[in-house]
């Protein structure tokens, strides 16, 4: 009896997406294991990844290294899928590549490359790079692959007494403020509700400093 294909998923703990990917792999008959590359979720750590990415990654790699060392039968892992990889250092990826010598390593970016400082160095070590951003695909020659979707039960259809024509609730990220302003300007007759937030006070301060138009 032939063994099942084995996948190592390296992915942040973000809205349960890693669980959705693991479930999809299992449905395809793939034995999947997940480890997290990030060294933390505090706001100093997140800012460090933006401002001093190489230093921050190098100083916070021990948890990821321990998880890699603890992998069972690493020589039987066929594929490694790294999603975003902003917490992974190049040295750790090279160690992973030598330890999992039979695996093909793919990097999938579900964020714009400019939001992941130093990602080009990580991409150069991978066997394949894919991105959800068509601009990055064209610029860097990476394969274009739109974001995946997962099943969610439909909410009841509301057709009466709706106070707004459209709404947005989400983090103040990238160019979302420009998109929202464009929607308002293009449809001045529509009623809308918008609530944007930052992860913390410091992130909001840095955002206002770097892009005053966003606040």
Q: What is the pLDDT of residues 100-152, one digit of tens each?
A: 989 999 999 998 898 888 899 999 999 999 999 999 999 999 999 998 777 77
pLDDT, residue 206, reads: 55
Residue 210: the pLDDT is: 54
User: Block means of pLDDT (10 residues each) for the chain, length 215 residues?
Assistant: 85 87 92 89 80 85 87 91 92 90 94 89 94 94 88 70 87 78 92 81 55 50
Q: What's residue 142's pLDDT?
A: 96
The pLDDT score that the predictor gives to residue 1 is 57
Q: Give the per-residue SS3 of the chain.
A: CCCCCEEEEECCCCCCHHHHHHHHHHHCCCEEEEECCCCCCCHHHHHHHHHCHHHHHHHCCHHHHHHHHCCCCHHHCCEEEEECCCCCCHHHHHHHHHHCCCCEEEEEECCCHHHCCCHHHHHHHCCEEEECCHHHHHHHCCEECCCCCCCCCCCCCCCCCCCCCEEEEEECCCCHHHHHHHHHHHCCCCCEEEEEECCCHHHHHHHHHHCHHHC
């Amino acid at each position: 009896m032939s063994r099942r294909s084995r996948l190592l998923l390296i992915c942040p703990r973000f809205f349960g997406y890693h669980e959705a990917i693991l479930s999809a792999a299992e449905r395809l008959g793939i034995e999947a294991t997940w480890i997290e590359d990030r060294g933390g979720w505090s706001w100093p750590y997140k800012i460090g990844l933006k401002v001093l990415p190489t230093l921050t990654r190098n100083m916070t790699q021990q948890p990821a290294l321990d998880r890699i060392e603890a992998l069972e039968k690493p020589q039987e892992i066929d594929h490694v899928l790294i999603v975003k990889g902003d917490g992974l250092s190049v040295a750790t990826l090279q160690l992973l590549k030598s330890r999992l010598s039979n695996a093909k390593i793919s990097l999938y970016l579900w964020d714009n490359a400019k939001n992941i400082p130093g990602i080009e160095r990580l991409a150069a070590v991978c066997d394949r790079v894919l991105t959800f951003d068509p601009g990055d695909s064209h610029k860097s020659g990476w394969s274009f692959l739109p974001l995946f979707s997962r099943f969610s039960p439909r909410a009841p259809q509301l057709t009466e007494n709706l106070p707004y024509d459209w709404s947005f609730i989400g983090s103040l990220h990238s160019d979302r403020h420009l998109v929202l302003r464009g929607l308002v300007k293009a449809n001045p007759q529509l009623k809308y509700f918008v609530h944007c937030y930052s992860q913390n006070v410091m992130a909001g301060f840095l955002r206002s400093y770097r892009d005053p138009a966003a606040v």
